[in-house]
Every structure is written in C-alpha cells, then in structure tokens.
Structure 1
Amino acid sequence: MAKDSGRKLVAANRKARHDYTIEDVFEAGVMLTGTEVKALRLGRASLVDGWCEIEAGEAWLHGVHIPEYAQGTWTNHAPRRKRKLLLHRDEIDRLAAKTREKGQTIVPLALYFLDGRAKVEIALARGKKDWDKRQALRERQDNMESQRAMRERRDR
C-alpha cells in the first residue's frame, strides 16, 4: 500500500490570522495515538482554542479538539489532551526565547497530513488590539474595492 502523497488539510485556524500578527511559521510533527490518527483521517478536528507552550525544553500543543473515534473501544483517546510537538532543538530554543517577550505566543494555524504523517503548522504570533483588527479589515475591503474598480474599468 502506497502512502498518501501531498498535503491533505484536516483543520485550519482561520481566526488566528485575524486575531494575531503572524511573525514566523514552523512545521512540526505531532505525537498521536492510533485512534487520534483515525479520527483525523475522517477530517475531524478543531484548532480554534489551541495554543502551544514550551515546558521543560519540549513543545506541547494544548486545547486542540480531536473527537473520539466512533469505532474506538477502551483504547480511545481524551479529546482535548495535550500533545507533544516534534521540533528540532534549535527551533524549540528559538520559540522559547521569543515567547518570553511580552505579547508573543505560539498558535496552531493548520493541521494536515503530509505524505501520510500528521503535521501541524504553528506560528510565532503577537496579539492584535481591536483597532488593529478593524484597520486590517478596512485595508482588505479597500483593496477589494480598488481591484473591483480596476476590473470594471478594464472590461469597458
């Protein structure tokens, strides 16, 4: 049996890009149990309440909801358990140093399978204030309006 090739998205945290300014992005492996992998292959997960922490030199993913596998027995997993992230030592050290700064945090952006292996895309991020969010929405809306006007002008 051949492994799946390419990237198969399971869950994305679109709200994170609205709530945070993304500064740096990392790809990490995730240590999962068998029933978690099966539940993810069904495309069921939620990253909305997720965050990452560096504890004792290891990266951990907290608050990510992977529902129980329907055909699982007593071996089923806890839906919101903390999961270890697999990163290189220099990446963990860099993340730990950056998160000590005020306002910096690590948030998960996407959970996906890459060539059959579960991966999570995490980002070093800085929280936005309400006025930052409004400004970003206004800029995006202005860009859409200008693109629409140019397209209408070009179609004449």
Structure 2
Amino acid sequence: MINRTYEEGVFKSKWLSKFINCWFFTGEKIKIEKLIYYSFFIIKKRFNISSLFFFFESLERLKPWVGLKLHRGYSKKKKIQVCPLILNSKVQFKKAMYWLIKSTQLRKESCLSIKISNEICNLIFNEITNSIKKKKEHYNYAVMFKSVKTFKW
C-alpha cells in the first residue's frame, strides 16, 4: 500500500489540508475550503503578514506537550486510572487543531470565516480564548494525575 500525503491547492500544506478535512459537517469540502481561504485573506488584509504563518504560529501556541491516557488495571476492582504521557508532534498538532475547531464553533460572530480569523488572531496576540482555557484545563488535569504512574516531569 502506498502512503500518499495529500496537499491542498493554494498553500500546498499537508497540515492545512488536514485542518480543512476536520471541518466536515455534511461533506461539503469546497464550501469549507472557500470559507477557510477567505478567513486567511482577512488575516492577510488585516496584518500584511502571511496568513499561513499566523495559522502555524497559533497551532504552535495551542499544542499540548502532555497528554492523558486511560489505563485499566486488571485486578479484582478493575480501576480505570488516568495516566499522563508525553505526546509526539503529530498528536500535538491534531489536538491543537481539534481545540481550535471546537473553540471557533463556540464563538458568537456571524460568519464562519470571521470566527476562524478572529480565533487565530486572538491566539497570536495572547488573548484568552476557549482553546487556551481548554489547554490549561488539560494540563492541570495531567498535573493532578502525575503521581499515578511513573512519569518524568
């Protein structure tokens, strides 16, 4: 089986194509591509900097370095424990994209492209958004369970 990486058309970025594919609600990829490209156009027009740079920088600020995994103990009680673990870069980017999508869906602007551009800009300029709150909550949860298993802090 051949492993192919599919890149999207305009920016030729594999991670941007994954971001576009994560947005599917009803399978209308062309509409979502247009909305995301328009949000990138808004960022480019507002700041005169590459919008792809803004996108990757926001994902860099959002990606977690520690993850959580459920560990089931095989004793009589069968306890389920939460274990923190260090994530590789691929999983970090996937979690950051997921949090970015969920936080843009919770925003109250009218158009989806405006929501995406405002969320990315707020992440760049260190404003507190729902995605940053989710990252901090995730980290605090990992700190709470760091004594469960052996983990290098």
Normalising by structure 1, what TM-score?
0.26
Higher relative contact order (CA 8 A, sep 6+): 1
Higher fraction of strand: 1
TM-score (norm 2): 0.26
Indicate the structure with greater helix content.
Answer: 2
